[in-house]
Structure 1
Amino acid sequence: MTTQPLPQLQRRFLTDAGLETDLIFNHGIDLPYFSSITLLQSGAGRDALISYYRGFLGLAARRQVGFILESATWRASPDWAKPLGMSEEELAELVRKAITMLVDLKRDYVGRVPALVVSGCVGPRGDGYDPGAIMSADAAAAYHARQIGWMSRAGCEMITAITMTNVPEALGVVTAARDEGLPVAISFTLETDGKLPTGQNLGDAIAAVDAATGSYPAYYMVNCAHPVHFFAALDEAATKVGDRVRGIRANASRCSHAELDAMTELDRGDPAELAQLHREMLDRHPAINVLGGCCGTDLEHVSAIAEACLTG
């Protein structure tokens, strides 16, 4: 299978925000195990997802900027079937529905949004903040190949691995995506010190994945950290790997991962400040083309980021 160059490498794109935290805290929707794939089990859940995406698609249409439709599959890899009370076959069917829903939305917005990409979202096998027992790259490839295969057959156009905590798991995702002939973006999460949860520097992690895969990833991203935590990490990475970081999905909160885990109320941070920090980030790293949000962010945050970063 051959792939076309991803349009977000040529121009600025938006993507969505903190889907799970938005639905849980702002809309009162229960998501067991932080898994938004469960919404596809009911008509009301599907409607909530569609409404969520349409808000961002409307923003992209008004701004006349490309948009990446990221699937609600971050916590939908095979190990999560049992905790969610379903068989792997049932989970696979929900993943298929998550992708086909985005394919349909893309069709609806062709002509209104300049460019649209359907991305299959892959999350870590375990906890999004703690690398835990790190798999080998081969084991990670075998594990993630199942979910990536489900999404590929449903029609996704790329894979985005969100909240990767360690290099071997990222390598596995890259291998599985390459075997499906799909482009892939790898997004690492960083702690308050700007390093991966394993203690590795961002630039070193990117260099290691590129060295092992012939630089197969289309680009890299950072997510689930506040910009003040990773400004220096971006500068350091640029000296080692150039412009390989092309996307940012930042948290609204300045809190650490441990503090966020313990919270019972949402910390939305300051949308205007977050937007200004993104503007400063782009001034220093103009190759960053994909802008969205992560935990605590919603349409207001991404709208503010768009206002700050797409004007002038």
Structure 2
Amino acid sequence: MRSVVLLDGGLGQEIYRRAPDVSSPLWSVAVMREQPGLVTAVHADFIRAGAKTLTLNTYAATPTRLSKQGLLEEMPAIHQRAFQVLEEAIEAIGTEVDIAGCLPPLTASYQGQPERSFEDLRDEYATLVRLQAAADVFLIETMTNTLEARAACSAASDLGKPYGVAFRLEADGKLKSGETLAEAVAAITPFAPTAVMLNCCDPEMMSVTMPALVDLYPCVGGYANAFKSVESMARGGSVDALEARADISPAAYLAHVQQWLVDGATVIGGCCEITPAHIKQIADVLESEFELIRFSQLGQE
């Protein structure tokens, strides 16, 4: 039976959906500081749905972002809390899953190439790796340029744990930096990540691009979002302005996932607006055809 990694869904958006009264540039982290039990509940729902690898709620907790909000001194405590709320969910459900450390864009999502050096970026990612060193695996997510992606790969490699890299594509099929997917994959291939993926673009884009990605790297995958548009956030707006697509039901999303698997994907899951119901639909339908595994089990089957 073919093995497939099943990640969780859009953690930050699911947290935001359940706490719409909290508005902050740090969105999901702000909720975790004020209502940690809510974040535990979201993690637990994704575990119950069948996810085998759960990402820490640290996407917005980079040194750069926290510094802007005057919260840099709280960074260790925020990361510690992220582990705590996820571990409480795992203990409550009693299922063995991977904890994935999160290495996101350092300043904001959907931006182009940062005006920073590789060494500067690597140092900041190294801080995040150190704070999340207890994670089983790492996911480098929503990469829009190869400079940040390479810096994150370099830092993640220090621990010798499995990690994946996921690129975000624009409507033209390229990264925000203007680099092609082939150029992006070539840039991080020397670091030998466990998997290379696409994330946080729409399912249709991912379905069109997956065959090309399969040809570029041995182990690939994807987890799409269900936003109508991210342009307002790309221009510096907040998560409050984002709208979900009504047409991406669990069944509709499953159809895309099944096509990715046919094309050769090995890692699947969901990004923003992909809910526990979406992940449950995937798990329920696929479990008879595939062995659903944790990210750390890649290459061990």
Question: SS of 1:267's equivalent?
Answer: coil
**Residue 198 of structure 1 corresponds to which residue in structure 2?**
177
Structure 2, unpaired ranges of 5+: 290-301
- Amino acid aligned to 1:180: L
Aligned-pair identity in percent equals 23
**Number of the residue aligned with 2:166:** 187
For 1:231-290, what per-residue CA distance to the aligned partner results, in whole angstroms no more than 9, with x for missing partners?
33222222233x331x3211124x4432676745433432122211111121111xx333
Runs of 4+ in structure 1 deviating by more than 6 angstroms, as ranges, are: none
Q: Is the 8 Å Cα contact of residues 146 and 187 (structure 2) preserved in structure 1?
A: yes
Question: How far apart in 1 are the matches of 2:232 and 2:31?
Answer: 27
The partner residue of 1:131 within 112, 126, 134 is 112
CA-CA distance at 1:229 after TM superposition: 1.0
Distance in 2 (CA, whole Å) between partners of 1:144 and 1:22 is 25
Give the CA deviation at 1:84.
2.9
Alignment of 1:67-216 (within 5 A): 67-86=52-71, 88-110=72-94, 113=95, 115-152=96-133, 155-211=134-190, 213=191, 215=192
Superposition RMSD on alpha carbons, in Å? 2.4
| Helix, strand or coil at the partner of 1:54 | helix
| Distance (whole Å) between structure 1 residues aligned to residue 212 and residue 244 of structure 2 | 31
Shift in Å at residue 80 of structure 1? 1.4
Partner of 1:294: 271
**Matches of 1:173 and 1:138, distance apart in 2:** 11
Aligned with residue 257 of structure 1, among 230, 243, 252: 230
Match of 1:24 among 8, 13, 16: 16
Work out the CA distance in 2 between the residues paired with 1:301 and 1:27: 20
The equivalences for 1:7-22 within 5 A come to 11-22=3-14
2:296 is matched with none
Does the Cα contact within 8 Å between 1:131 and 1:198 map onto a contact in 2?
A: yes
Which of 273, 286, 301 is 1:309 aligned to? 286
Give the deviation of 1:124 after TM superposition: 0.3
Contact 1:35 1:74 in 2 (8 A): no
- TM-score under structure 2 length normalisation: 0.84
Aligned-pair distance for 1:203? Answer: 2.9
* 1:266 alignment partner, one of 234, 244, 250: 244
Q: Secondary structure at the match of 2:3?
A: coil
**For residues 117 and 296 of structure 1, what CA distance do their matches in structure 2 show?**
22
Paired residue secondary structure (2:132): helix
Amino acid at match of 1:103: E
Q: In 2, Cα distance between the equivalents of 1:150 and 1:264?
A: 30
Secondary structure in structure 2 of the residue aligned to 1:37: helix
Gaps of 5+ in 1: 1-9, 61-65
2:27 matched residue in structure 1: 35
- Matching residue within 38, 42, 61 for 1:52: 42
| Deviations 1:171-212, CA, capped at 9 Å, x for gaps | 11111112233332111111123221122222321122113x
TM-score, normalised relative to structure 1:
0.81
